[in-house]
Amino acid sequence: MKILVVDDELVSRKKMMKIVDGLGRCEAAEDGRAAISSVQTALEKWELFDLITLDISMPDMSGTEVLSTIRDLETARGLTADEKAKILMVTAHSDVESVKACVGKCDAYIIKPFNKDVLTEKLKKLKVI
């Protein structure tokens, strides 16, 4: 499995990477632009991400903007629903508006602080593990 962890906060990014590390090959991006670049490269090489964890609140681009861009790139590439990455939004906000903005494009969300058990349960529901 190929995984991309996107979070501008170093501690959160490292925590997520540590949790998902045993599931497959893991890459990290510290902002939205780096995430989009990683996805573009993966699409060009046809080395698709299976899972992307994406922070909603980032300084350069919001996670919702990054999510929309990733989905547009996947659609432009002609990916089927099964080929598209499972995208798990990660937020420190229990703010319903942030989550509503992602509905229909993301596959699930998780609220910080999270732990391995909570994340594992989400990934099982997504049938990633």
pLDDT tens-place string over residues 14-24: 999 999 988 99
Domain that includes residue 10, residue range: 2-124
> Does residue 129 fall inside a structural domain?
no
72: confidence class by pLDDT, cuts 50, 70, 90: very high
Q: Which two tokens stand for residue 84?
A: 């598209």
Q: Is residue 46 situated within a structural domain?
A: yes
Q: What integer pLDDT is reported at residue 96 of this predicted model?
A: 61
In a domain, 119, yes or no: yes
Q: How many domains does the chain have?
A: 1
CATH, residue 30: 3.40.50.2300
What confidence category does residue 49 fall into, taking pLDDT thresholds of 50, 70 and 90?
very high
Whether the per-residue pLDDT at 94 is higher than 70: the answer is no
Task: Indicate whether 95 belongs to any domain.
Answer: yes
From 41-45, 50-54, 74-78, 111-115, the region with the lowest mean pLDDT: 111-115
Distances (CA, A) of 113 to 9, 61, 76: 13, 22, 34
Percent of the chain with pLDDT over 70: 97
Examine residue 86 and state whether it is found in any structural domain, yes or no.
yes
Confidence of residue 103 (pLDDT cuts 50, 70, 90): confident
Q: In a 3-state reduction of DSSP, which class is residue 6?
A: strand
Residue 86: phi, psi to the nearest 5? -80, 125
Q: Taking 90 as the threshold, does the pLDDT of residue 33 lie above it?
A: yes
